[in-house]
A and B are shown apart, each in its own frame.
Chain A
Amino acid sequence: MAKKVMVQTVINNDDTTFVCETRQTLLEVLRDELGMTGTKEGCGNGNCGACNVMLDGVLVNSCLVLAVEAEGRTVTTIEGVAEAEGLHPIQQAFLEHAALQCGICTPGFIISSKALLEQNPNPSEHDVRLWLAGNLCRCTGYDKIVRAVLDVASAGQAKAGA
């Protein structure tokens, strides 16, 4: 017996109302009901970070959030990261550093990295590695990802200092 509820949220700055089952995760609703397939499913149990989104400005695994919990809250997904002028600097840095191969982990890494730099604009390499420990990547070996994030941070610092 499916229990359906209506949920009102703001997703990537758009008022969004959807109907879902109480047992559906935010990840399922984003992908299957709203067609926002940028957010990926890796493990489905909180270990890989591929599904990361911001919920009311806090980094969370969308596979471990019920969609009904998003009622009245704001959600930011990878689709909301690029700016009107083009790619977000973190996205650009991932391209320039070849910080992705198959790409399934990339949306999660970009959301996490953005959350880090918002909170700590000048992280050390240790800070970056620790913050990203909940994001798994099977392909890159992580190093290029860490370089990309540090590069964006130092570019940001240069700008702030200029």
Chain B
Amino acid sequence: MQAFDFVSARSVDEVVAALAAGGERARPLSGGTDLLTQLKEGRRAYETVVDLKRIPELMEIRIGTDGLWLGASVPCHLINKNADIQKMYPALHDSTGLIGGTQIQGRASLGGNLCNASPAADGIPNLIVHSVTAHIAGPNGSRTLAVEDFCVAPGRNALQSGEVLVALQFPAPGKNFGAAYLRFIPRNEMDIAVVGAGASVVLSDDGQTIQSARISLGAVAPTPLFVKAAGEALAGQPVSEETLEKAAQIAQEAAKPISDMRGTIAQRKHLSGVLTKRALRIAIDRARGTSTVDSLGRLNGNG
């Protein structure tokens, strides 16, 4: 690693000042599981590294009537073991349990996952299906951005020079809400997603009709995808394999993957459909409080 100045910031203002002063040569540090590997490999070099983990707002988990305020630098393990989050934001719980292994989860944050803007990031589809808003601070004050607009290209996010992601704001889930995130990897754990799929639903009181839904796919486009049309096709429809199949088809068509060492275009397209349907089934089960599918979203152990 090349030498750099290390700033342990104590407030958002301090971060913004340090980032504004350093410009392109300054970079924030959350858990470092992406940044330090990039610095070590020499893929990136910065003159200033600004640690965010001693800023209370960035390390806060706050649940209130208006939803969840998740500090950008909170590590996955704290999110994953929070019982309220598991109940209210189940796709967030899913994601934080499968990023890296235990020791990566001790450090890796969702702010880092989002800002790193990998097309295959396991943390981003859940943010999209949970309708998260990114809270950003910068030299010109604060602004917010819908999380589906945050990633602009592989490894590039929408932050301007001097800006820092402060928190992720999750709206209150409301009743009959359920969500899930699933990924396909050849190993059981510790691998990069071939495809990832997130789904959320709001059901009618009798659990038979889908009032609204959101679908998001990872690793099938230059940025994590919000497949708005798939969710819209489900709105007002009865819960049935047929309707889920329709949404899965739309998701599959929206996927624009590449072929690489992890998978081919055809495989990724196929998986986009399968995982969308399975994530939907889990989300519906969770909204109803039933368990008709296994943890991978399969009916009777297959399908």
Contacts and interface: CB of A to CB of B under 8 A. Distances in A.
Interface in B24-46: 29, 31-33, 36-37, 39-41
Contact of A64 (B53, B101, B107): B107
B188 A133 contact: yes
A46 B6 contact: no
Interface stretch (A30-38, A55-63, A97-105, A140-148): A55-63
Given A25-B36, A58-B77, A66-B36, A134 B102 contact: yes
B4 A3 contact: yes
A119 B107 CA distance: 17
B102 A23 contact: no
Nearest to B53: A69
Determine chain A's interface SS by DSSP, over half rule.
Answer: mixed
A52 interface: yes
Given A55-B106, A58-B77, A64 B3 contact: no
B103 A71 contact: no
A2 B3 contact: yes
Interface residues of A, number: 35
B8 A71 contact: yes
A60 B103 CA distance: 4
B40 A66 contact: no
B138 interface: no
Contacts, number: 88
Nearest to B77: A58
Given A64-B32, A68-B6, A59 B103 contact: yes
A133 B33 contact: no
B100 interface: yes
B205 interface: no
A60 B101 contact: no
B37 A64 contact: yes
Contact of A112 (B1, B100, B102): B102
Contacts of B4: 3, 22-23
B190 A59 contact: no
Contacts of B31: 64
A21 interface: yes
A5 interface: yes
A115 interface: yes
B106 A46 contact: no
A24 B36 CA distance: 11
Nearest to A56: B106
A112 B101 CA distance: 11
A100 B29 CA distance: 36
A16 interface: no
A52 B3 contact: no
Contacts of B6: 3, 5, 22, 66, 68
Interface in B136-164: none
A131 B36 contact: no
Interface in B70-115: 75, 77, 100-104, 106-107
Contacts of A68: 6, 8
Interface of A: 1-3, 5, 21-25, 44-47, 49, 52, 55, 58-61, 64-66, 68-69, 71, 112, 115-116, 130-135
Given A1-B3, A71-B8, A134-B103, 6 more contacts: A22-B4, A23-B3, A61-B104, A68-B6, A112-B103, A116-B102
